[in-house]
């Protein structure tokens, strides 16, 4: 039985989920992004080396997918900081890096977490039992 597809699907889902959560939390709390980005890069390279040196194809697929996701997340840390600057992600006023962003002239940064809100019904859609 060939299990590579299942292993690839599960490892992709879990790696992307973990990366999304980790990038948001690390960027929110880290005073500097260089150390976490360097760790993501080192882990990514290590997993890619393991993928290249592993004979078992399902394990190699999982290592390769998770490794590349770590490498991508290293880039996403900086991109997440850009989202904070634009006000698309919440800033942490207790983080000196974010406090500087919040007080910058013309800053669009906000402490509002737009993911923690009640869903709003759109006109023409069913919402909360009411048809608009």
20-to-13, 16, 114, 118 alpha-carbon distances in Å: 11, 6, 16, 21
Q: How many Å is the maximal CA-CA distance in the chain?
A: 61
> Is 27 exposed, middle or buried, given 0-12, 13-18 or 19+ CB atoms closer than 10 A?
buried
Please, are residues 67 and 51 in contact by the beta-carbon 8 Å criterion?
yes
What does the mean pLDDT of the chain come to?
90
For the chain, what percent of residues have pLDDT higher than 90? 77
The pLDDT tens digits for 11-66 are 999 999 999 999 999 999 999 999 999 999 999 999 999 999 999 999 999 999 99
Handedness of CA 109, 112, 117, 121 (dihedral sign): negative
What sign results for the dihedral spanned by CA atoms 8, 10, 12, 18?
negative
Please report the pLDDT score of residue 132 as a whole number: 45
Contact 111, 104 (CB under 8 A): no
| pLDDT of 115 over the 50 cut | yes
Whether 92 has a pLDDT exceeding 70, the answer reads yes
- State residue 102's pLDDT score: 92
More confident residue, 125 or 4: 4
- Residue 1 is predicted with a pLDDT of 77
pLDDT, position 118: 72
15, 21 in Cβ contact below 8 A? Answer: no
Rounded to the nearest angstrom, the gap between the alpha carbon of residue 101 and the centroid of all alpha carbons in its chain is 20
Is 91 a residue whose pLDDT tops 70? yes
**Predicted confidence (pLDDT) per residue in 103-112, tens digit:** 999 889 989 8
Q: What is the pLDDT of residue 51?
A: 97
């Amino acid at each position: 039985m060939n299990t590579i597809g299942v292993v690839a699907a599960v490892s992709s889902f879990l790696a992307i989920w973990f990366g999304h959560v980790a990038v948001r939390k690390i960027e929110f709390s880290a005073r500097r992004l260089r150390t976490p980005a360097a760790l993501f890069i080192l882990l990514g390279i290590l997993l890619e080396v393991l993928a290249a040196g592993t004979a078992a194809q399902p394990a190699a697929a999982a290592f390769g997918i998770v490794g590349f996701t770590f490498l991508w997340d290293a880039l996403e840390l900086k991109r997440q900081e850009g989202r904070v600057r634009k006000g698309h992600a919440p800033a942490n006023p207790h983080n000196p890096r974010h406090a500087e962003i919040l007080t910058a002239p013309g800053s669009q940064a906000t402490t509002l977490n737009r993911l923690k809100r009640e869903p709003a019904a759109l006109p023409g859609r069913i919402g909360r039992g009411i048809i608009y």
